[in-house]
Amino acid sequence: MKCTILLHSATGNTRLVAEFASRRLSEAGHQCVLHDVVADPEPPDCSQVDLLGVACPTNYFGQSRVMQQFLDRMPPMPEPEDRPPRLAFQLGTCGGDPGAHFVTQAEQLQRIGWLTLGARTVSFPDSWPPHRAIVKPLSFTAAIGHALGAKLAPLRALLSLPYPDIHQPTHRTVSRLGRFINRVSRRAAVRDHLAAQSPEDLARDRPRALVHLGRAMTLEKIRHATDIRIDAQRCTRCGTCVDQCPSGCLTREDDQSVPRVGTTCVGCWACYQHCPSDAISGWHAPAVLGRYNGPTPATIEAFNAKWLD
């Protein structure tokens, strides 16, 4: 089977998940290609693809708008009558809840001829800048969080709001993800399009208020809530933010000028996360305090362990 996974990842969490999925599919004998939508913004030719994966972070209770804009550019698949619809799966990473992420992405995929076989999110609660900035000062209470998390395991996702450390992915999370990939690929191999989930099915799994919230987050609101500012005093003119910006929103006249923030921001915060001189701040997130440096070595190890299953 030929598989392509479209990938957007600003700080590395989703890349870890997508690379794991890609390895899983290859180990099962399938041909799998990862397509980074920022490095290569041109949609790939999917005419021979049997299973399409879409992997991106949740941003503002929806799929990352980088991925949304990429899927908008994907040409619709032709629909020959003798062939059932094509099959896809969705992978996401989030800090707490994906909201409308999988629902709107399934709708978008359906419009271009792909049915969603299933969707899976992996939670990295320690990685959302405003959350980090607000919660970090409370980190002295981490011991309480761990004690509560051990006693009240089913409430761990909720408890990770005040105590982000206690709900990081573990070997068990990764095993579950592996089983999800196996299930999806088995169904795709026999073209079991009856097993596909509609956007309504995917919405049923999520708190309704958060799905509404995700749908309500227009680009205009996202830009307002992102509010990227660059401190000219701290900026070293290294150009990292300009290179990292996937939407061409940051520009500069020459190597010596401070980048200007334009109007095409999609709210991914990649500039904030990658600025090496802590010169960028955003909504409720002063420079430094909310920065996420990517998955920890323990998390990377969990995704790369050999003995899983």
| Sites of contact with ligand FMN (CB under 6 A) | 9-15, 57-61, 93-97, 99, 124, 127-129, 267, 269
**Residue number with CB closer to ligand FMN (77 or 283):** 283
Minimum distance between the CB of residue 203 and ligand FMN, rounded to whole angstroms?
16
Which tokens in the block code for residue 134?
């607000």
Query: Quick one: three-class SS letters along the chain?
Result: CEEEEEECCCCCHHHHHHHHHHHHHHHCCCEEEEEECCCCCCCCCCCCCCEEEEEEEEECCEECHHHHHHHHHCCCCCCCCCCCCEEEEEEEEECCCCCCHHHHHHHHHHHCCEEEEEEEEEECHHHCHHHHHHHHHHHHHHHHHHHHHHHCHHHHHHHCCCCHHHHCCCHHHHHHHHHHHHHHHHHHHCCCHHHCECHHHHHHCCCHHHHHHHHHCCHHHHHHHHCCEECCCCCCCCCHHHHHCCCCCEECCCCCCCCEECCCCCCCCHHHHHCCCCCEEECCECCCCCCCCCCCHHHHHHHHCCCCC
Q: Which two tokens stand for residue 104?
A: 């709107």
Q: Which is nearer to ligand FMN, 98 or 118 (CB)?
A: 98
Closest approach of ligand FMN to the CB of residue 284, in Å? 11
Q: State the nearest-atom distance from the C-beta of 192 to ligand FMN, in Å.
A: 29
Closer by beta carbon to ligand FMN, 64 or else 187: 64
Closer residue to ligand FMN (CB): 89 or 124: 124
Of residues 9 and 108, the one with the C-beta less far from ligand FMN: 9
Q: How far is the CB of 285 from ligand FMN (least distance, A)?
A: 9
Sign of the torsion angle spanned by Cα atoms 55, 56, 57, 62: negative
Q: Which is nearer to ligand FMN, 95 or 259 (CB)?
A: 95
Q: From the CB of 61, what's the least distance to ligand FMN, in Å?
A: 4
Measured from the CB atom, is 87 or 90 closer to ligand FMN? 90
The nearest distance, CB 7 to ligand FMN, in angstroms, is 9
Tell me the torsion sign for CA atoms 164, 37, 6, 209.
positive
Least separation in angstroms between CB 8 and ligand FMN: 7
